[in-house]
Amino acid sequence: MGKFLEKYPGEIKELRLGTEGKQAVLGGQNTLPFHFFEGRPGKLKLALEVTDSEPSDWTPALQEFYADVKSSPVEWARKCVDVFGAEMIFLSLNSMEKDLPAAEIAAGVKRVAEAVRVPLAVFGLGEKEKDAAVLPVVASVCSGMNLLLGPVLKDNCQEIAAAALEHGHAVIAQIPMDINLAKDLNIRLGKFFPLDRVVIDPLTCAVGYGLEYAFSTMERIRLSAVVHDDKTLQSPLIARVGKEAWKTKEAVQDAGKGVLWETATAFTLLLAGADIVTLRHPESLQRVRALVH
């Protein structure tokens, strides 16, 4: 049977996040998703999302579920790790919507990073000016903590990625569902930032809301990297599932459906090649974990 197995020329770069005692490694595969019989599998990470101030746009069911901790990002993050088993924390900086001082936001990020025993991803608003003003300060205040910072966009990659490089962090390079734009942004970053410290965010859609296009984009990126050895695309992929799944009408109307929507979306994008999946409900995390382990 061995003669029928495929061997591919490319591999996904291995990325180590966090500091001693709270490190995680992701990526590193030299085969296609779940083709364990053909090569070295990747190291997947399931993250739970936390916001750095009380979330106003989360569904009532999620608000109620996290009622005991949602006012304290530190306690919320600890519960996600210690009680729910999150392998990473994905900290969304919704406090940026209030135009708080960057130093205050960064100090809050540092408290969360120090409080949990897993790596931390930190995500801004996706607005180029606001993110470029805040994320470099986060990088500086959390120097040496080896965070994953994003999103880095074409129009602010110089400011954010340069600060991340100076202070020892990795970055999330975000593009709008287009493999050519992913290549272009990584080429830009590669001129001054190591591509083995980049995670690609091609954007995500939920089941029934454009998932097929998200799947196709992610799959094409992974095929180009592994099968065709495109070194500009050999970065791990992130699927930010929670936000997309829980804004669907099905999830808003019924928390049980929300968990199913989140689980189905997450597992589908893992099949497409995602290395990090961010979720909002711990039951979704447990269901996805049972499927992949």
Q: Where are the domains of the chain?
A: 43-292
Please state, in angstroms and rounded to a whole number, the distance separating the CA atoms of residues 141 and 145. Answer: 9
pLDDT for position 2? 53
Q: Is 290 exposed, middle or buried (0-12, 13-18, 19+ CB in 10 A)?
A: exposed
| 8 Å CB contact between 292 and 269 | no
| 8 Å CB contact between 124 and 150 | yes
Q: Cα angle at 289 between 91 and 265, to 5 degrees?
A: 70
Task: Tell me the DSSP string of 234-278.
Answer: -S-BEEEHHHHHTTSHHHHH-HHHHHHHHHHHHHHHHHHT-SEEE
Q: Which amino acid is present at 288?
A: V
pLDDT 10s digit of each residue in the chain, 293 long?
456 678 899 999 999 999 988 889 999 999 999 998 899 999 999 999 999 999 999 999 999 999 999 999 999 999 999 999 999 999 999 999 998 999 999 999 999 999 999 999 999 999 999 999 999 999 999 999 999 999 999 999 999 999 999 999 999 999 999 999 999 999 999 999 999 999 999 999 999 899 999 999 999 999 999 999 999 999 999 999 999 999 999 999 999 999 999 999 999 999 999 999 999 999 999 999 999 87
pLDDT for position 187? 97
pLDDT for position 101? 96
pLDDT for position 246? 97
pLDDT for position 70? 97
pLDDT for position 3? 62
Please state, in angstroms and rounded to a whole number, the distance separating the CA atoms of residues 136 and 287. Answer: 36
Interacting residues of 3 by C-beta distance below 8 A, sequence separation 6+: none
Query: Does domain 43-292 correspond to CATH entry 3.20.20.20?
Result: yes
